[in-house]
Structure 1
Amino acid sequence: MELGDKAVGFLLTLTSLSIFTYYTFWVIILPFVDSDHFVHKYFLPQEYAILIPVIAGVVLLSFLSIFVGLVMLKSKKKKKTN
């Protein structure tokens, strides 16, 4: 495995772990912290904890559906030419 592949893998793992830690703290621990505590300024309002993953899921499913549709159309065109 190339050094570049390892670096990209490490970067993706580090990014995923950071996002998971931030989201877990935001959703599970932050509601139990006093609302006037300074740590609240580093997080978005709680409503976004649900809204952001839902929007990301809808976007991901949309792109996957479009990709599968395009592949099916391309496959159908290929069969007609043969």
Structure 2
Amino acid sequence: MRTPIKLLDVVALIVDLPEYNLWRGQVGTVVEILAGGTSFEVEFSDRDGRTYESVGLRPDQIIVLHYEPLMAYPELTAVSA
């Protein structure tokens, strides 16, 4: 199951986009949700925070990055009172 893409999610490209000089593995931030969630404006910045590209992408072109473990089945770990 893919993680839903939300505003300000950190994402990585899973395809090369040579027309934008962007390559698989580059990391960007979702800055706008377009067309009811069928595409996303993703901003790519350098280490100093300067944007070098901003491009509209489809969900099949990016993957959400996670910085902590995800629970596969959170409903199974709920504590009953």
Settle same-fold status: TM greater than 0.5: no
Larger RCO, structures 1/2 (Cα 8 Å, 6+ apart)? 2
Return the TM-score normalized by structure 2. 0.21
Higher share of residues assigned helix:
1
Return the TM-score normalized by structure 1. 0.21
Higher share of residues assigned strand:
2
